[in-house]
Amino acid sequence: MGNSPLFKYGHTACAGCGQAIAARLVIEAAGANTIIANNTGCLEVFSTKYPETAWGVPWIHSLFENSAAVASGIEAALIYLGKKDTTNVIAQGGDGSTGDIGLQALSGMLERGHDILYVCYDNEAYMNTGVQRSGLTPFDTNTTTSPSGALSTGNIRPKKPVPEICNAHGIPYVATASAGFPQDLSRKVKKAISIKGPKYIQIHVPCPLGWRHETNQMLSVAKLAVETGLYPLFEYENGILANRKQIVPKLVQEYLKIQGRFKHLINNPAEIEKIQHIADNNIKKYGLKVAPDV
Amino acid sequence: MKEFVEGSHAIAEIIKAVKPGVISAYPITPQTHIVEDLAQMVSNGELKSQFVNVESEHSAASVVLGGSATGVRVYTATSSQGLFYMQEVVFNIAGMRLPVVMTCANRAISAPINIWNDQQDSISLRDAGWIQIYAENNQEAIDFHLIAYRLAEDKRVMLPVMVCMDGFILTHGMETVDMPEQDKVNKFLPDYKPLYKLDTADPVSMGLLADPDYYMETRFAIQETMKDSLGYLPEISSEFNAVFGRDYRDLLVEEYQTKDAEKVIVAMGSVCGTIKEVVDEQRSKGKKVGLLRIISYRPFPYARIYEALKEVPRVAVLDKAVSLGAYAPIAVEMKAAFYGKKKGPKVISSFVAGLGGRDITLESVYEVFRRLTAKEVNSDFIDLKPELLKEDYGK
């Protein structure tokens, strides 16, 4: 990949960072006529350390949890100025700032019907502060605040279904995407931008540091999450499941065994079975399985 | 034009004249009447603003932050818990040098929950980097909003301004006011032209991470602007007087019968009306008493206060807030204003009154003057009810 005028190289993301790649794909798909409001988090820190910025579009960071509300104010100002029809507004943040501390602001933005695309970069924990558990951390994940131990196999709760929560707001478009499927991701961003109203895209972005996998394995880890059914890719249009990426499901062990955050489960088939059950439920719920040849 | 109106309605009228592009607020008593009236004006087509109904004060402040960063004039209003809930954003707006104007309808802080007036809310946010000015009556509350926008949007300032008006006493009080005419408002307050804004024609990044090599200078710059604003307030006041014919002098303090006074009360906000009545009555009996009203609490006009009170032997500071475990907020500043100086009061006594809406009556003010003796007192509560203090569960 060469340099991009909208998200320039020279930022300080870790090697193999899924979020940096996804963020670049998002802004390139949205185009130069876009204003971004960014929550506090890795992306904000590694892209805008004063006096440098990686952003070639107007960009603002205010606080950890308020990008949806800041973007609402930007959108309102653009309407007042008569510029909304020619300007896209994106609010973005990580999984914690989106689904935990920022969920209220996000819900308000969706409910009010602003013409904004919200993008959640889901690396499944608070990576910027050192891999603490978030509401979007998967079941049985070892994080610094949900460590495995004699009495624990890691995070005790399943992943919070933020796309479903967003869809329940009755908004026109909700999608999940993955850094492992860049063309699919770009297509979804372009589609979202073309729709008026509130949109939500949640992108699965591997974090080699927090997930403890090799930096050159980012794409294959991301792909395996989708191919096992643990991270289903789907689109809701006006509340209806309109599209999903179908798979020939692989076993979840394939995905778990290459990440240090699940290393404690290797000799624990009972727990792996529970995770397989989560994948199976996703496969059933979203109809992910490719129909067998007749 | 003279109108007999409720304070909140008067504020809505002046905000309409100011023509903000984005208004955002969340309901909290006693601020609600202001934003209800603004919502109606927008609904009627009288005001061409985007009115954003948010799910919290945190988002109300964030919406006006985003609007201001996009280059339009913005407005919000809140009180009490609402102000505290937006506190994080309040500090952020100042750090980003955005000229947001907010009305704080002053109200007590929970617990116990209490919707009535004192000034604990805005005073607790004194370190946020907002200019804070306090109105005595509704005419001032109206005029101070115009002055607030002029000051905030002044390129030498670029700081947010909070106009503080006592909840219920002013917001729900009916008063005859002279409502500024639109043409005069336009003359005094030109359209807002931002230095920087979020604009795809000229992309900028805002709100960057500043490490230890850069952070301190941003705070120093605000501190310097605050100091300089002590000079801009008198300048803008005189321009205001030239357009509207109302003289707020230096806009820092008001001296009322202080020249030869032996006892002076220092206070802020609507209680000063009550104190003036007592001063008038006492003066008619030949007693040398006076009032020094603080208008600008941030920046705090130390030098101006020193000049005003350096020959006064006894000063009583009346706070409608407390700093639990320390001297009362305004009292601290007053003592600092005279520390190490050649002249100054022999006694600076501090009194706390009117918390949670307890009436500060004429008799309360007399009591302050009576307790202002040669013996200095600190955080002396006025109008406590002894019968409520008898219970002792600790023993």
The pLDDT tens digits of the residues spanning B242-277 come to 999 999 999 999 999 999 999 999 999 999 999 999
Q: From the CA of B96, how many Å to the nearest CA of chain A?
A: 8
| Measured CA distances, B315 to A206, B302, B348 (Å) | 65, 15, 5
| Ranges in chain B, pLDDT < 50 | none
Strand partners, B261: none
Give which of A62, A90, A110 to mutate to test B binding, by max B Cβ within 10 Å: A62
Per-residue model confidence (pLDDT) at position A215: 97
What is B8-73 written as a DSSP string?
Answer: HHHHHHHHHHH--SEEEE---TTTHHHHHHHHHHHHTTSS--EEEE-SSHHHHHHHHHHHHHTT--
- Chain A interface, Cβ < 8 Å to B: 32-35, 37, 44-45, 48-51, 53, 55-63, 65-66, 68-81, 87, 104-105, 107-108, 111-112
User: Is pTM beyond 0.90 here?
Assistant: yes
Give which of B19, B63, B197 to mutate to test A binding, by max A Cβ within 10 Å: B63
Please report residues of A whose CB lies closer than 8 A to that of B55.
104-105, 107-108, 111
Question: What is the H or E stretch that residue A248 is in?
Answer: none
SS3 content of chain B, % helix, strand, coil (to 5): 40, 20, 40
Residue B80's nearest CA partner among B115, B126, B56, B34 is B115
Contact A108 B59 (CB under 8 A): yes
Give which of B49, B55, B74, B88 to mutate to test A binding, by max A Cβ within 10 Å: B55
Q: How far apart are CA A42 and CA A20, in angstroms?
A: 9
Q: Is A110 left (phi over 0), alpha (psi -120 to 50) or beta?
A: alpha
pLDDT, tens only, B266-314? 999 999 999 999 999 999 999 999 999 999 999 999 999 999 999 999 9
Contact A60 B49 (CB under 8 A): no
Q: From the CA of B387, how many Å to the nearest CA of chain A?
A: 44
Give which of A11, A61, A74, A87 to mutate to test B binding, by max B Cβ within 10 Å: A74
Residue with tokens 């603080």: B294
Per-residue model confidence (pLDDT) at position A294: 59
Asked if ipTM goes beyond 0.90, one says yes
Please report residues of B whose CB lies closer than 8 A to that of A50.
208-211, 214
Q: From the CA of B193, how many Å to the nearest CA of chain A?
A: 13
Please report residues of B whose CB lies closer than 8 A to that of A34.
200
Who among B63, B198, B204 is closest to A69 (CB)? B63
Q: From the CA of B201, how many Å to the nearest CA of chain A?
A: 8
Residue B106's nearest CA partner among B117, B95, B114 is B117
Q: How far apart are CA B204 and CA B207, in angstroms?
A: 10
Contact B65 A45 (CB under 8 A): no
Does pLDDT of A293 surpass 80? no
Work out whether the CA dihedral B294, B296, B297, B299 comes out positive or negative: negative
| Measured CA distances, B241 to A255, B11, B175 (Å) | 73, 19, 21
Does pLDDT of A249 surpass 80? yes
Residue with tokens 């974090």: A207
Residue B329's nearest CA partner among B252, B270, B266 is B266
What's the first-to-final CA gap in chain A, in angstroms? 41
Per-residue model confidence (pLDDT) at position A2: 73
Q: From the CA of A284, how many Å to the nearest CA of chain B?
A: 36
Residue A278's nearest CA partner among A261, A260, A256, A258 is A256
Does pLDDT of A223 surpass 70? yes
High-pLDDT (> 70) share of chain A, % = 99
Grade residue A1 by pLDDT with cuts at 50, 70 and 90: low
- Please give the mean pLDDT across all residues of chain A: 97
Contact B66 A33 (CB under 8 A): no
Amino acid letter for position A213? H
How crowded is residue A268: how many other Cβ atoms within 10 Å of its Cβ?
A: 14
Q: How far apart are CA B214 and CA B220, in angstroms?
A: 11
Does pLDDT of A291 surpass 90? no
With a CB cutoff of 8 Å and minimum separation 6, the contacts of B158 are B97, B98, B99, B152, B195, B225
The tokens for B101 are 């104007």
Nearest Cα residue in chain B from A58: B203
Please report residues of A whose CB lies closer than 8 A to that of B67.
73-74, 76-77, 80
How crowded is residue A270: how many other Cβ atoms within 10 Å of its Cβ?
A: 8
Residue A119's nearest CA partner among A169, A190, A63 is A190
Q: How far apart are CA B35 and CA A153, in angstroms?
A: 52
Per-residue model confidence (pLDDT) at position B346: 97
Residue B135's nearest CA partner among B268, B285, B298 is B268
CB B54 within 8 A of CB A69: yes
Q: From the CA of B295, how many Å to the nearest CA of chain A?
A: 31
Please report residues of A whose CB lies closer than 8 A to that of B48.
80
Please report residues of A whose CB lies closer than 8 A to that of B92.
62-63
Nearest Cα residue in chain B from A104: B55
Who among B21, B58, B96 is closest to A77 (CB)? B21
Contact A53 B56 (CB under 8 A): no
Region A192-210: what's the mean pLDDT? 98
CB A200 within 8 A of CB A175: yes
Does pLDDT of A13 surpass 70? yes
CB A51 within 8 A of CB A74: no
Who among B65, B92, B206 is closest to A73 (CB)? B65
Region A122-136: what's the mean pLDDT? 98
With a CB cutoff of 8 Å and minimum separation 6, the contacts of B112 are B356
CB B79 within 8 A of CB B85: no
Residue B160's nearest CA partner among B104, B216, B217, B106 is B104
Who among A63, A78, A107 is closest to B70 (CB)? A78
CB pairs under 8 A between A and B: 154
Contact B54 A72 (CB under 8 A): yes
